[in-house]
Structure formats: structure tokens, C-alpha cells
Amino acid sequence: MVLVVGVMMVMNVGSAHDYAEALSKSILFFEGQRSGKLPPTQRMTWRKDSALHDGSDIGVDLVGGYYDAGDNVKFNFPMAFSTTMLAWSVLEYSKAMGPEADHAREAIRWATDYFLKATSRPGVVFAQVGEPYKDHNCWERPEDMDTPRTAYSVSRQLPGSEVSAEIAAALASSSLVFRQVDPAYAKTLLDRAKSVFEFANTYRGSYNTSLGRIVCPFYCNFGGYEDELIWGAAWLFQATKTSYYWDYVVQNVRGSSSSYAANFAEFGWDSKNAGINVLFSKFVMKGGPYSSLFLPNADRFVCTILPESPTKSVKYSPGGLMFKPGGSNLQHATALSYLLIVYAKYLNHENRTVQCDNVVARPQRLIQFAKSQVDYILGSNPLGMSYMVGYGNKFPQKIHHRGSTLPSIKKHPKKLGCQDGKPYFDSKSPNPNVLTGAIVGGPDIKDQYSDSRLDFTQSEPTTYINAPFVGVLAYFKSHHKA
Ligand SMILES: *[C@@H]1O[C@H](CO)[C@@H](O)[C@H](O)[C@H]1NC(C)=O
Ligand SMILES: *[C@@H]1O[C@H](CO)[C@@H](O)[C@H](O)[C@H]1NC(C)=O
């Protein structure tokens, strides 16, 4: 029996959400994470200049980029993934973004300007700035930061293929974003993407081994670096349309290890596998010799998610939010929702459906499911709570975020040292600075949320939760009746 899951299922969705407002805020969030010298156009004005000497101790300018989450370290591996996802969001949905596309491009450029600095020396890629243990021991505003700003790099002798190839992916995808609006900049990004990819591919190894306890357990690369190399080549193919990168992707997917194949359902800062299959499905949707390398795995990925799929492997809260292992659960809801709406778009071009054993899912079903996750995040959930800071009537007040928790420089110009932040961390009061647009780690699997700074898996925002959500919100902004 073939069960067709049709266009409409009755959903318990409350009032309609303002996707346009949520989109603007999701992009604004990135201004709160900015490191370096802030421009006059800075809209999140409680933040000021910080980390203005990053790299100066070794004679390299590493000023700029983003703080990753609620701390003040610049972790380039997840930062690059967030940048790639912002770029992909703009590439698919810039029309839907309207005037927000300019802000999104600004958010991308804040990262790519920094990545150009982090890759300016041939044979060296900076992987991180800041000493994570020392940073995490302090509850300090970025503007006051006085922990070591050590710059860690990978090289030919001590390689880091995952961080280098992800930076190549970020630069290549961003070059497409700027191709029309700033061709010279786009060319700079693409040229650098190619050389950084060659470095990543030629000198193979994981930054786990090269940098050790500086990256593990923080952004330890569990999924291996094969996926980042293929992902980097996939974006370089998009940007160059040359057979060199096409062949690289095809040959490496064919020859990939069993751990690569086993990760077909994963997508996030660590594993790019499902993203590769969805990205390349666009080129092989009509069928042909290469389609079997990407389409079956993209379909299988979808089937691990849909609640009605016999092969689903994700879990659901009673309120309908998806759960996968790993901290910051909403990173899965936003990143996987992004892949679903993009895959639905590509499927639609060829009027294709996804078959999960006896269940057939039409593209519209993928979109409808993604909408259920978006609406949950924006407040259609048992607590009636939005998990985006500054959106809706009820949202997280005590996020795990140093800058948001401590008084702003304007209110309290005097330096607050490493331990001076403790009373603010322990305070029962809401954070004084609203980090507008930040999406936090989210509720537990029983739909409960403690709104506590201590519970960082729930209350900490990260750039890679927000970045794919930018594309998702742009889509729903222009497709209200999905
Ligand atoms: C990175 O380190 C983690 C933890 O030690 C390990 O599980 C993982 O396999 C390593 N990844 C690579 C690519 O070596
Ligand atoms: C699309 O596919 C469905 C079945 O999956 C079919 O009923 C419909 O006619 C097709 N539409 C087009 C335009 O081919």
C-alpha cells in the first residue's frame, strides 16, 4: 500500500508568525557577535570595539570575525560553517529577503574579511583565536577581555583539513554572493578559496591531532575531514563550474570511507554529509549516471526526519520539536529545516517525491514539516515561548552570553575583570542587554525550558543555530501559506 502524505495535515499552530520580523532579527543577531572594530553602521549599539590586537603578538592582523556563542573565543571551524550557511541562504533566497539581503551580505562580509586575513600567509590557516579554557573561566565582556588571545594555526607540518576546507567552502559560497554586487571582492574570495582548498587537500590531517586540547573538546571534529573536503570542492564547483571540482566531488563520494557513508543523515558544523547530497541533488535531479551518488542518500536523510516515515531516527518532543544527539538542540531544527526547504525546491523542479518505504512525501510535505519547526521556535509550543530573543511576548531572559549578561560599556564604563562578572551571572534579573535575534539551544525533550544561565545547553545562542535559520525565515516570509 502506498500512503500519500498530502498537502495538508491539521496542525496545532497558534497565531501566524511575523516571519519578516524574525528574519530581520535573525540577521541582526550577528552584529551582537562581532569581534573587532565596529563600523559606524553598527545597529546593536550596546556592543563596542573589542579584541583589536588579535594576531599582533605574531605580526598578523587577525582582527574581526565573530565570537562563536556566549564566550569570546573565535572558533574558525564553526564560524566558517555559519558563513557558508549564510551564503547559501542568500544564494537561494535573496529575492525573498528584500532589503534584508543587504544586511545578510554585510553579515557574510564581516566573516569573509576576517577569513581573508586568517588565510593570508600561504601554507598557514588560522584555526582559532583565544585560549578556550582561560576564556571560559572568566565572565567578562568582550570589550574588557584580558585572557590570552593566542592565535592557533594549522600548517603543512601540522595540518587541519576540516577547518581549512570549511573556510574554502565559506569563501567559495560567499564569492557567489558578491559576484553581482562586488565582482572584484568576489574574485578575491574565489582565488583564495581555491588556494585554501588545495592546501587542505594536499596536506591532509585533522586539527584534532595538530591542535589537540585547544580544539577538543570544544569543536572537536568527530565526523572526519573527508566531508569538509568534498563540501569545499562542491562549493568550488558551484562557483567555478569546472570539471576539476566536479570530478573531485564525484570521485571522492564514490571512494569515500564507510564512516562517510554512515553519516548520510548528519548536517551541522561537524558533518556536512546531508548538505553535500542536497546541494548536488540539484545537478542530478533529472537522473543520469551520477544521480545514484546523491539522490538516494538525500532521500534517506529526509526519511530519518519525517514523523510518519518508517525509517525515522530523530526523536520528537510531545510539542513536535525534533531532537538529535549533541548539545544546542535547536541547531538541528534550524539546519535540517534549511536542507528540507532547499531539497523541496529542487525536487519540485522535476516533480519528484521522496519514498520512505511505503510512505510517499511530496515536496510540500517537507516544507510543511520545516514550518512546524520554525513555528515551534517562534512560539507555537506548549510553553507559548519564543526561542528567539526579542521576538514575541515571551522569550529567554537569562541567556548564557557574557556580553548580554553584563552591563554595557555605556552604562558601566569601568573595566569589569575576569571574576567581576560572577554577581551578574548569578543574578536572578533578566540580562540587561537584549541580544536581539539570538536563538538559544532550546527546550528539553519534554518541551521544558529553565531560562537559566547555568544551563548553557538550553540558554546559549550560537552563530550556527542562527545562520541556516536566516534562509528558512526568508523562505517563509515569502511563502506565508506553506
Ligand atoms: C577527533 O577527536 C575525537 C575525540 O578524541 C575523535 O573521536 C575523532 O575521531 C577525531 N577525529 C579525527 C578526524 O581524527
Ligand atoms: C507530478 O507528479 C504527480 C505524482 O507524483 C502527478 O500526479 C502529477 O501529474 C505530476 N505533475 C506534473 C506536472 O508532471
Helices (H), 322-421: 330-349, 363-378, 402-405
pLDDT at 482: 47
Least Cα distance to 386 among 98, 85, 19 occurs for 19
Of 351, 355, 359, 365, which is best to mutate to test ligand 2, by the most ligand atoms within 8 angstroms of its C-beta?
Answer: 351
Ligand of minimum distance to the alpha carbon of 212: 1
CA of 351 to the centre of ligand 2 (A): 6
Look up the CATH number of domain 19-35+49-479.
Answer: 1.50.10.10
CB 258 near ligand 2, within 6 Å:
no
Nearest-atom index, ligand 2, CA of 351:
1
DSSP code of 142? T
CB 290 near ligand 1, within 6 Å:
no
On the question of pLDDT at 4 being above 50, the answer is no
Check residues 221 and 8 and name the one with the higher pLDDT.
221
Report pLDDT digits (tens) over 90-140.
999 999 999 999 999 999 999 999 999 999 999 999 999 999 999 999 999
Mean pLDDT of the 288-314 span: 97
Report pLDDT digits (tens) over 181-234.
999 999 999 999 999 999 999 999 999 999 999 999 999 999 999 999 999 999
- Would residue 224 be called left, alpha or beta, if left means φ above 0 and alpha means ψ between -120 and 50 degrees? left
Of 61, 308, 451, 455, which one is the catalytic site residue?
451
**What SS3 state is found at 313?**
coil
Fill in the amino acid letter for 35.
S
CB 353 near ligand 2, within 6 Å:
yes
Report pLDDT digits (tens) over 56-101.
999 999 999 999 999 999 999 999 999 999 999 999 999 999 999 9
CA of 74 to the centre of ligand 1 (A): 21
Instruction: Report the chain's mean pLDDT, rounded to a whole number.
Output: 95
% pLDDT > 70, the chain: 96
CA–CA gap between residue 421 and residue 402 (Å, rounded): 8
Of 164, 166, 206, 210, which is best to mutate to test ligand 1, by the most ligand atoms within 8 angstroms of its C-beta?
Answer: 206
Ligand of minimum distance to the alpha carbon of 205: 1
Domain positions in the chain are 19-35+49-479
136 is catalytic: no
pLDDT at 235: 98
User: Concatenated DSSP letters for 182-235?
Assistant: -HHHHHHHHHHHHHHHHHHHHS---HHHHHGGGTTTTS--TT-SHHHHHHHHHH
400 is catalytic: yes
